[in-house]
Structure 1
Amino acid sequence: MTSVEGVFTEATAVPKVRSVKLSHLSIELGHLYMDDFKAGRERLLDNFRSVRPWASTATEACSTSVRGRPRISTCFLIDDYFTRFSSPAEVIPALLSAAEETGLQIDYIARESACAQADGVDLATLVQQRLVEEPPVGSNGSRPPSEVSGWLCNGERSPSDRPAEAMAAPAQWRPPRQSAFRNHSIFIDVELWRDEGGRRLWSCPFLAAVWQLQRLGLLRHHGEPVGEPRPITVAELPAEWDALPPVVQLNPGAAAFHAYRTFSALGSRFLGIEVAVRTILSQVSVDSAVAAQVASRAAGEGFPLPDEVVERIGYAFL
């Protein structure tokens, strides 16, 4: 005879997960940093000229796997976290103008600082709390976990160079080892953050991981989406970055900001960062209710969606 134990909870104790509108594909047309903006309009034009053919290719590829007309939106990320430069009222019109001249349209613009905190919610901490770090076989606890050290790897690190115990044989060096590898290990150790003067400074790869989860519509706080796009006109752009919403919708007719899949066309300088992003995302446990909701909707549309989050992300490195 099999016994079944029931678990009773108040209905109000389980937050309802609110869904978000989803496009089939979110295309990222680039990142903007202070050096890029200072280099002038020609730098912006060069970026969009190199991105345009890849954005067209991603659009065409998405169209082949969709019933009917695909829903595709574009976005652009501006760094206002590590450096503050100029103002939204000056930067955003320059971006829009350069994109339009090369035949592209930016539907949404996001602030990188909004990947750390948006609408009063510490998004970066929410993601950090969902990291599931698997201790390697034979671990002795000498290396603190990621929530303490601020570092995350994809396998087993080399032993530390601590002094050997008295009368013990010298410790033999061992190479780091990737957890799941084919033929040879590719070991990656990623800095997630560091604390400076009482302030936590999140790393660029970690913020980029939050950015991908946000674009994929997989982030919730007590069941509610955070940092939802807000429509704004160019005439309404503020003079200060902190006055700009986390994500702004500049194209009133755009498809949804969140999407089943993402594609980013980036310069080759971002390759290392995105490798780190994939290392991080491979160890993030997405809320099961949110994951099931998105998967169910994709299946209902007949749109193929991999189970693994990292497999929903595509790139072109220019």
Structure 2
Amino acid sequence: MTSVGAEYSEATARRRTQSLPFSHLSIELGHLYREDFDPEGSKLREHFALVAQWVAGAKQRYAPTGKRRPRISTCFLIDDYFAPFSAPKVVVPAIVEAAAEAGLTIDYLAREASCARANEIDLAQLVLAQLVPEPPVDTDGSRPPVLESGWLSNGRRAQEGIAQAMGGRREWTPADQTSARRHSIFVDVELWQDKGGKRVWSCPFLAAVWQLVRLGMVRHNGSPVMVPEEAARLDTAESWEDLPSIVQLNPDADPFCAYQTCSVLSNRFLPVELAVQVILSQIVVDDAVEEAITQRSAAEGFRLPPEIVRRINYVLDGNVAGDP
């Protein structure tokens, strides 16, 4: 009789986390929404001329110094989720030419719709599953869970003073931020809306997914979801859906993902990016992914802060184009 040996293990233990190439810094040169696009390109030229003034400083501030050449890539985000506009064959050349006039090279072009769904994977839902909300102090259970309500906060919302039957009047209670420094700044973020049986993700939540993708922290069964690809016939593409999630425009570009990010945006994005900070402060990244990134960066002498939100940097200027 031949004996048979069986070995049992968790499926997740056998799963291999695929590594990615990393730059030191990813610089976002802007978001483009329908209302900010003009076919003549004058608004785009103004936008990139101003952005160019900040890019040099961002490279000097956030990229590592030393004997090695810092790896820095640039990216640009197109809104094809909330209000798709024009055609890639019209928009992409206009963006690339306007950036070039300002002395900038766009290495990667990304589609915002891909932050919701990419390569047949519900990317936003995948990130939502990594959300671990901070429990508010003295919660009474009256507020539905985040996964039911679609609302995420950084503390306890204010309680209205109301009259209670046989119990007198309950006093108004102010909002209370979790881990506040001296004074509370309470933020309540809408993550999605369900309309007609379809889930529409909010701008802050998609922006949070976008930051995680740029930081190389999103995996599906160990594999990255949004990976840059070269686009065939980019100059003839009629639909944004015909393009990959991330288009590599510059074949000589440094890697898309980076240890740190910097986004040059209009200060009109300030409320959105504050909401992004609230979301990302309550996201738990896969341990294997986080450990791999931390070890690789440390081996390069580029030590990263442990918190995700501290790896994300901004330049906010009221004159830069963009309207969330």
TM-score range normalised by the length of the shorter chain: over 0.9
AA aligned to 2:102 is T
| Identity, % of aligned positions | 52
Question: What pairs with 1:118-197 in structure 2 (closer than 5 Å)?
Answer: 118-159=118-159, 165-197=164-196
Shift, 1:29, TM fit = 0.2
Report the 3-state secondary structure (helix = DSSP H, G, I; strand = E; otherwise coil) of the residue aligned with 2:169: coil
Other-structure match for 2:224? 225
- TM-score where L is the length of structure 2: 0.92
Shift, 1:268, TM fit = 1.0
2:85 and 2:31 map into 1 onto residues whose CA distance is 14
Shift, 1:181, TM fit = 1.3
Contact 1:29 1:76 in 2 (8 A): yes
1:304 and 1:117 map into 2 onto residues whose CA distance is 32
2:229 and 2:287 map into 1 onto residues whose CA distance is 27
| Residue 14 of structure 2 corresponds to residue 41 of structure 1 | no
1:237 and 1:217 map into 2 onto residues whose CA distance is 30
Shift, 1:164, TM fit = 5.2
Shift, 1:236, TM fit = 5.2
Stretches (4+) displaced over 3 A: 10-14, 62-67, 233-237
Contact 2:160 2:172 in 1 (8 A): no
Task: Return 35-44 or 14-23, whichever deviates more.
Answer: 35-44
Other-structure match for 2:83? 83
AA aligned to 1:202 is W
Change (3 A) 1:12 1:147: closer
Q: Which runs of 5+ in 2 are unaligned?
A: 1-7, 318-324
- TM-score where L is the length of structure 1: 0.93
Per-residue CA distance 1:4-55 (angstroms, 9 max, x = gap)? xxxx624675311001110000000000000111374111011101111211
Other-structure match for 2:289? 290
2:113 and 2:234 map into 1 onto residues whose CA distance is 23
AA aligned to 1:260 is Y
Other-structure match for 2:305? 306
Report the 3-state secondary structure (helix = DSSP H, G, I; strand = E; otherwise coil) of the residue aligned with 1:211: helix
1:179 and 1:13 map into 2 onto residues whose CA distance is 35
Per-residue CA distance 1:153-201 (angstroms, 9 max, x = gap)? 111112267x654201211111101101111111111110010000000
AA aligned to 2:190 is E
Report the 3-state secondary structure (helix = DSSP H, G, I; strand = E; otherwise coil) of the residue aligned with 1:89: helix
Contact 2:160 2:171 in 1 (8 A): no
Change (3 A) 1:59 1:126: same
Contact 1:25 1:73 in 2 (8 A): yes
